[in-house]
Structure 1
């Protein structure tokens, strides 16, 4: 089955410089979408002849005015946005007692406030057209407690429930909002937590000392694994899926 609904559709992607975001930009472009790829600094993108353009823009998702301005620019200069994907995110590790106020505020500003800012701006322009699809890339940590990740997990849980509530508001307009919840994925965010080259195997095996299950599929996800799941939820083939929270974690949370 080939996914459809992408050709000529304008897609806004945040966090496009990271592993998952960059993989998604490539898949969208290869499927014929016109992509606006954003990150805190403008992503460096490879142009491919014969394919739709990718517009790279700097965007701080914590700045509500900047988000609104970018959405207005896209709508005026490029065309109507059909897809929005929230990939931008930051990691904060540490115990609750070891987390200060600034660290807490930063992780929520990007992971929760940023999703709110982008989704609000997209809902404003999509609602009159009664068409569109939004996907938030959250985390399986939003649904399962993680030792030393309270701030990150709480921020992702907020983003997840916000996206589902938005989906309830927009579904009567034909606008679908869904979530992809990755588990451990081979990105710089993941490898940055490893103490050594064996860190990946430790993630796969799990750690009973901190009550963390391993990965039943015995492998880490790749950015393409997560990006492909996002593509499905954006596609025509997912036309009757709304407010869903798709865990893509190799079974590590022992849930669907």
Structure 2
């Protein structure tokens, strides 16, 4: 009898890297539960997946609420089969220097970018361990490893997610669960575009660097795409990466040099 297809849960799937990841996993044969918070355009992702013949399940949930994440994992398993892949992509960015960052901005980014992956890793880790294995990719940021001005809370939250994932991977290895971290740099998504009132000037600053902000440019001289990141995630979640765990891999054109 043919083996069952992989079953994936992708958070932050309404757009950007999350949507591209869901499509990349579907192209490799995974059934995909796509998760995003209520009020997002999750329907467009579902439509795109259905158009390529994917087995898809939309799930509305808030990754900052543990009970909602637990319920989402249970729903995905009930509807699609044993969960074998997790892509934790949901994230939020509010810029601000140390002296101007509010408690609310700090709390929100920690809740979504660090506590969210914790909830997802814990819920998925429990069922994957019981299922006999699986693979996890958590989307962090190159800001987690390279200091950035005006992104202090975001960078701290992504650094927390990076450490969380590697520690979880160490603990889950005995259960056959692999955990890796993906570090995007400047990627053409709505989040990046929201930082640039002038798209042309923003692009040039990213490519050339900002010396007064102690920031180098991008050696490959291009802004990344959501698909660039999604392809790495799909690889890490596949059996082709069966000996890769506890790694952090940048997809930033060399910007984190």
Q: TM-score, normalised by structure 1?
A: 0.94
8 Å CA contact 1:7–1:33 kept in 2: the answer is no
Separation in 1 of the partners of 2:51 and 2:115?
37
Separation in 2 of the partners of 1:40 and 1:96?
28
How many residue pairs match? The answer is: 249
Of stretches 33-42 and 217-226 in structure 1, the one that deviates more from structure 2 is 33-42
Separation in 1 of the partners of 2:30 and 2:147?
37
Match of 2:254 in 1: 251
Match of 1:105 in 2: 107
Separation in 2 of the partners of 1:96 and 1:175?
37
Q: Does 1:213 align with 2:216?
A: yes
Of Structure 1 and Structure 2, which has the larger fraction of its residues in helix?
2
**Runs ≥4 residues deviating over 4 A:** none
Deviation for aligned residue 1:50: 6.7
Equivalent residue for 1:22, pick from 19, 31, 47: 19
For residues 121-161 of structure 1, what are the alpha-carbon distances to aligned partners after superposition, in whole Å with 9 as ceiling and x for unaligned?
01111112221000001000000100010000000000000
Residue aligned with 2:76, SS: helix
Match of 2:188 in 1: 186
Residue aligned with 1:88, SS: coil
Of stretches 121-130 and 174-183 in structure 1, the one that deviates more from structure 2 is 121-130
Q: TM-score, normalised by structure 2?
A: 0.94
8 Å CA contact 1:15–1:86 kept in 2: the answer is yes
Pairwise CA RMSD of aligned residues? 1.4
Separation in 2 of the partners of 1:7 and 1:247?
31
Separation in 2 of the partners of 1:82 and 1:21?
17
- Unaligned ranges ≥5, structure 1: 1-5
Match of 1:3 in 2: none
- Unaligned ranges ≥5, structure 2: none
